[in-house]
Structure 1
């Protein structure tokens, strides 16, 4: 009976890693959402401001065509 009780207990290391996984997942989702918003804002910048930034319309199209998970 003691062997069964010992085998069902959860190791301490796996219980401690769960908050990290949750934190990492939430930060990753926040980063992806922020990246999407930045690309939407970039798409709205007019040509005059793009020249000031040193970007071409082709640069903007290329950046905005990327999926949200790509940097």
Structure 2
């Protein structure tokens, strides 16, 4: 009598192709939101001298930093 160790193992489930794309899109969206959050944190740290060089006012910065991470 021969025994098969591999026969008791469950087969690896693969997601259908559309689900893989949806997973990738969700991860990409989360990465974009996190990057936007970090950019707004960095923008809040810039001093007035550099803001003038960029053509921004402190009010522009306050308005941008008040937005939620999902807002553009």
TM-score (structure 2 length as normaliser): 0.78
Deviation of 1:16 after TM superposition, in Å, equals 1.5
Runs of 4+ with >6 A deviation: none
Deviation of 1:15 after TM superposition, in Å, equals 1.8
Alignment of 1:50-69 (within 5 A): 50-69=51-70
Alignment of 1:7-22 (within 5 A): 15-22=16-23
Using the alignment, how far apart are the partners of 1:70 and 1:19 within structure 2?
Answer: 26
Q: What per-residue deviation string (whole Å, max 9, x for no partner) do you get for residues 5-47 of structure 1?
A: xxxxxxxxx8220110000000000000000000000000000
- Count residues with an aligned counterpart: 58
2:42 corresponds to 1:41: yes
What are structure 2's unaligned runs of at least 5 residues?
1-14
CA RMSD of aligned residues (A): 1.1
What are structure 1's unaligned runs of at least 5 residues?
1-13
More helix, by proportion? 1
